Each structure stands twice: as C-alpha cells, then as structure tokens.
C-alpha cells in the first residue's frame, strides 16, 4: 500500500488531507513539525510527503533540505506564501510540486497521483546512454564518465523527459504540464531556472540540452557527435 506523510501544524488541514488520502486507498501518517517529519522519513519508507512551510520548531524548507540528504522521496509543498521566490527556492531544494493555501483537497490528490504515476513510468525503463552521459532511471541517478552527478529530483525529471523525447522540440508549457502535473500558467522561468542548473551539472555534456528559440528546449543527441 502506498504511504503518505502529512506534515502540517494545523490539525484541521491534516484531518482533511487524511480523509481524502484514505478514501483513495493511501496509508497515512502525520507529523506537526519539521523535526518529527525528518525522524519519520528516516524510519519509514513513504511514497510521498506533503510538507507545510510555516511550522514551529523547524520550517518545511529546512526539513526538506535535511530529508534530501538521505532520501529522494517525492515532496509536495504546502504554503500560504505565493511569492515566486518561495516556489523557486522549494524547487531548488528538490520538491516536486508547490500548492498555495487555501487549496482544494481534490486538486492536491490529483497532483499526488500525477507525481507517483510519473515515478512508476520512469521505473519501467532501465538506462539511457549518450556517449559518457548515463541516465539510470530505475535508480534515479545520472553519471558523467562514470562519475555520479547530484541532480535535484526536478532536474532529473526534466532531463529524463527531454532525453526520452530526444530530438523533439518541447515547449515550456509541455514541460511544466508533464513534469509538474498541472498547468503552471505564467511562470516559464521555473523551467528556465531548472534548465540552467541542469546544464551546469551536466558539464561538458551541457550542449545536449538545446534551446529552441520561441518554443522551449530539446535533447539533441547529435549535438556532440
């Protein structure tokens, strides 16, 4: 059974999310602060974590930063803060989605299902290799000339989507919809930020990620031939 950890200091929010998650067949655990979330993420194998930002003792951003040191578990962030800076900071830490309060519990569950569906789809593939660039989809790892490269979960997903659709021009809107699992209107800079970080991490293989003017990006497997 898939397990969800709901982390929020507001009991009513946890109760609502628990009700919807259990209705869809998830096993649910709860925590009311960041320290408890870290401890539980170490002890149990969760399918996904729903993490609030503003909490006593330890905030959600700090908790995610610590969890990312030992786990790639998907994280959906909740927050009453809608500023672009907060969203981009969360994605740089490696979260998979960002939902602003007040929210629709049905929408939250739809986003969770989209994240987990993508994870299952990626796990059905094995390894993609382009010269010295190796993408291990089942292990969610990337290697450059046999040296492991540390990517955030979202950087990894962007790379995988482009590589599995190699030589095709992909719009920013498609990347936002397919990777974040919903329409993210008016925030194309999210993709541009992740592409910039991804290219930096790919080093000498950065040219595989090609900018398509007025469209978006594509993975050009012939770029380094």
Q: Yes or no: is domain 126-219 CATH 1.10.287.1060?
A: no
Q: What is the pLDDT of residue 186?
A: 46
Helices and strands, number each (H, E), in the chain: 8, 12
Q: What is the pLDDT of residue 130?
A: 92
Phi and psi at residue 185, in whole multiples of 5°?
-60, 140
Cβ-count burial of 138 within 10 angstroms (0-12 exposed, 13-18 middle, 19+ buried)?
Answer: exposed
Cis, peptide link before residue 102, omega less than 30° from 0: yes
Q: What are the residue boundaries of the structural domains of the chain, listed by start?
A: 3-121, 126-219
Phi and psi at residue 143, in whole multiples of 5°?
-125, 140
Is residue 210 within 8 A of residue 220, CB to CB? The reply is yes
What is this structure's pTM? 0.58
Q: What is the pLDDT of residue 72?
A: 85
Q: What is the pLDDT of residue 183?
A: 47
Strands 133-136 and 127-130: antiparallel
Q: What is the pLDDT of residue 122?
A: 54
Superfamily covering domain 3-121: Response regulator (3.40.50.2300)
Q: Taking the chain (225 residues) in consecutive chunks of 10 residues, what is each chunk's mean pLDDT?
A: 90 94 91 94 92 91 93 89 79 87 88 78 70 87 92 91 90 82 59 92 94 92 80
Q: What is the pLDDT of residue 14?
A: 94
- Percent of the chain that is helix, strand, coil (3-state, to 5): 45, 20, 35
Please list the residues that pair with 142 across neighbouring strands. Answer: 135, 149
């Amino acid at each position: 059974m898939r397990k969800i950890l709901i982390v929020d200091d507001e009991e009513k929010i946890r109760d609502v999310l628990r009700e919807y998650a259990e209705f869809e067949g998830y096993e649910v655990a709860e925590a009311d602060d960041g320290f408890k979330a870290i401890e539980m993420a170490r002890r149990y194998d969760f399918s996904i974590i729903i993490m609030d930002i503003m909490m006593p003792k330890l905030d959600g951003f700090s908790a995610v930063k610590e969890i990312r040191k030992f786990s790639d578990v998907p994280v959906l962030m909740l927050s009453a803060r809608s500023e672009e800076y907060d969203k981009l900071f969360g994605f740089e830490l490696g979260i998979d989605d960002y939902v602003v309060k007040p929210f629709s519990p049905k929408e939250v569950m739809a986003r969770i299902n989209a994240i987990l569906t993508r994870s299952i789809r990626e796990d059905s593939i094995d390894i993609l290799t382009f010269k010295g660039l190796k993408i291990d989809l089942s292990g969610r790892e990337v290697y450059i000339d046999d040296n492991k490269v540390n990517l955030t979960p979202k950087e990894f997903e962007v790379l995988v989507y482009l590589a599995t659709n190699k030589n095709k021009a992909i719009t920013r809107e498609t990347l936002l919809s397919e990777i974040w699992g919903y329409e993210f209107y008016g925030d194309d800079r999210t993709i541009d930020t992740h592409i910039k970080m991804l290219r930096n991490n790919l080093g000498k293989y950065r040219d595989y990620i090609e900018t398509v003017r007025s469209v978006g990006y594509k993975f050009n497997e012939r770029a380094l031939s």
